[in-house]
Structure 1
Amino acid sequence: MALQTVLLAVGRGDKDRVDALAETVTDIAGPAGATVVLAHVFGDDEYADVREKLDIAPTAEVTADDVAERYSTVREIRSTLDEAGLDVVVRGGVGDYGERVVELAEEESADLVVVGGRSRSPTGKAVFGSTAQSVMLSAPCPVTLVRGE
Structure 2
Amino acid sequence: MQRALVVVSPNERSNRILREAGELAAGSGAELVVLTVLPDEEFERTRSALADVGSSDVVYGIDQATESATRKAKRLAREALDDLDVDYRVVADIGPEVDSVLETAEAESCDHLFVSGRRRSPTGKLLSRDVTQTVMLNFDGPVTVLLGEESETEDDSNRKSRALA
TM-score, normalized by length of structure 2? Answer: 0.70
Q: Which sections of structure 2, spanning at least 5 residues, go unmatched?
A: 51-56, 149-156, 158-165
**Among residues 57, 60, 68, which one is paired with 1:58 in the alignment?**
60
For residues 110-139 of structure 1, the C-alpha deviation after alignment (integer angstroms, 9 at most, x for no partner) is 010100012334x46977951111101111
Percent identity of equivalent pairs: 29
Aligned partner letter, 1:40: T
CA contact (8 A) 1:33 1:86 kept: yes
Counterpart code for 2:43: Y
Task: State the TM-score, normalized to the length of structure 1.
Answer: 0.76
Runs of 4+ with >4 A deviation: 59-63, 124-129
Q: How many corresponding residue pairs?
A: 139
Q: What residue in structure 2 maps to residue 30 of structure 1?
A: 26
Query: For residues 48-104 of structure 1, what are the alpha-carbon distances to aligned partners after superposition, in whole Å with 9 as ceiling and x for unaligned?
Result: 528x6xx9732584573x333212x55123332132121111001111111110000
Q: Which letter does structure 2 place at the counterpart of 1:118?
A: R
Distance in 2 (CA, whole Å) between partners of 1:45 and 1:69 is 18
Give 2:152's aligned residue: none
Q: Cα–Cα, structure 1 residues 25 and 60, in superposed 2: closer, same or farther, change >3 Å?
A: closer
Q: Cα–Cα, structure 1 residues 61 and 69, in superposed 2: closer, same or farther, change >3 Å?
A: closer
Unaligned runs of 5+ in 1: none
2:34 and 2:145 map into 1 onto residues whose CA distance is 15
Question: Over aligned residue pairs, what C-alpha RMSD do you find?
Answer: 2.9
Return the alpha-carbon distance in structure 2 between the equivalents of residues 143 and 90 of structure 1. 19
Larger Rg: 2
